[in-house]
Every structure is written in structure tokens, then in C-alpha cells.
Amino acid sequence: MTRIPPLLPQQWSSAYISYWSPMMPEDQISSGYCWFDYTRNLCRIDGLFNPWSERTTGYRLWMSETGNASARRTHKQKVAYGRDGVELSAQPLAEESALFEQLYLPQGVLREHRARHDGRHEVLGLVADAWTYQRPGKGPATLFLKADTDLLLRMVTGDADGHASVRDFPNLCTRSIPAWIFAADAAGRSDFA
């Protein structure tokens, strides 16, 4: 029997842990928080950028990006965190605004790409349905959803047998997201959303 892939929840948010499989010596583990509101066509991702070479740049990059696909704009706020021995420095970088045509993880991504059910696996201590699809020009992706639900637990992009990007979502929440979350500036103004 063919299973129809679910849509992601109308609104959801979660902390995330970003890492690589397998972990190479130069790979980083990072974390952050993300919000997706498909009703308003908005998303926001806050966290340390991964991949990012601290060795090459001399700092870790923290970024807050708010994307408004309806307005086709994204707004990025960045901070460079550097180290000198045990001393930490933080340097705000210039804000950026750019074209933004689609949310990073569309609600219907599994259906759009005709994802196939790839069995059940244990993810974060829970039974999860694996949904695998091909991203045009980018390679494979697999979303692991809590069994028989639309709740995302893990996303794997790239070659799972080679070097894949992994993001775990350990505390996904589907409560309503307040409008101020999508404010594009530090003052909390919501004129962007």
C-alpha cells in the first residue's frame, strides 16, 4: 500500500542541533531555534551558522534570519564571535536584506517532491517514519517524523552514506507563534511581517 506523505504542521517551532554524519575533524556542532508559520508564509531561524569555518574566518557566525516568502524578502542580523585564548569577543555585522522566494522548509515539501516512505527508525528515542526525496540539483533529503504524525524529529540532507548534514528537532511545538517573533529588527517592530 502506498502511503501519502503528510504536510508539516500549520505552525511549528523547535530548538535544533545541527551536525554532520559522519563528523569530520573540521565539522562543527551548532544549535539554534526556528519558527515556521505557513499561514503567514514566514519563517525565522536563529543560531550559529553551520557549515562555517572558524579556522578560515577567525570567528563563529551567529545569525538571525527572518524570511517572508509572501513579500519575497529576507532580513538577516549577524554577530561574529571570536576567541583569543579564553577571551570572547562579539562584533555585530551589517544587517542584510535580500530576495526570498520560498520558505526553507515548505509545508508540502514531502508531497511536492513525491517523498517515499522509507521505513520506521528510532530517532531521539522515539519511533519515526522516514520520508525520503530528491532535491533537484541538491541531492537526497530525508525527514523523520514521529510515527503516524506530522511532527518533525530529524532532517538529513546529502548523502547519508557519505557526508550528510543532520538537524535534530528535540522539542517541536505546534502552539500558535506570536507575530513579534517575526519582527525583523532588534527593537521588535513587526513591520517586516
| Residues 63-119 pLDDT 10s | 999 999 999 999 999 999 998 888 999 999 999 999 999 999 999 999 999 999 999
pLDDT value at residue 185: 53
CA 141, CA 135: separation in Å to the nearest integer? 7
CA 151, CA 8: separation in Å to the nearest integer? 7
List the one residue out of 155, 108, 131, 148 whose CA is nearest residue 10. 108
CA 44, CA 75: separation in Å to the nearest integer? 9
Torsion sign, CA atoms 90, 96, 99, 101: positive
pLDDT value at residue 1: 64
**Amino acid at the residue 63:** M
Q: Are 105 and 8 in contact (CB under 8 A)?
A: yes
Find cell 499561514 and name the residue.
39
The verdict on whether omega for the bond into residue 22 sits within 30 degrees of 0, i.e. cis, is yes
pLDDT value at residue 122: 98
- Find out if CATH 2.50.20.30 is the number for domain 11-182: yes
* 101-106 LR contacts (CB < 8 Å, sep 24+): 101/69, 101/72, 102/69, 103/36, 103/38, 103/41, 103/42, 103/43, 103/67, 103/69, 104/43, 104/45, 104/67, 105/8, 105/36, 105/43, 105/155, 106/38
pLDDT value at residue 54: 87
pLDDT value at residue 160: 74
Residues of the chain with pLDDT under 50: 186-190
Query: Residue 108 forms beta bridges with which residues?
Result: none
CA 91, CA 82: separation in Å to the nearest integer? 8
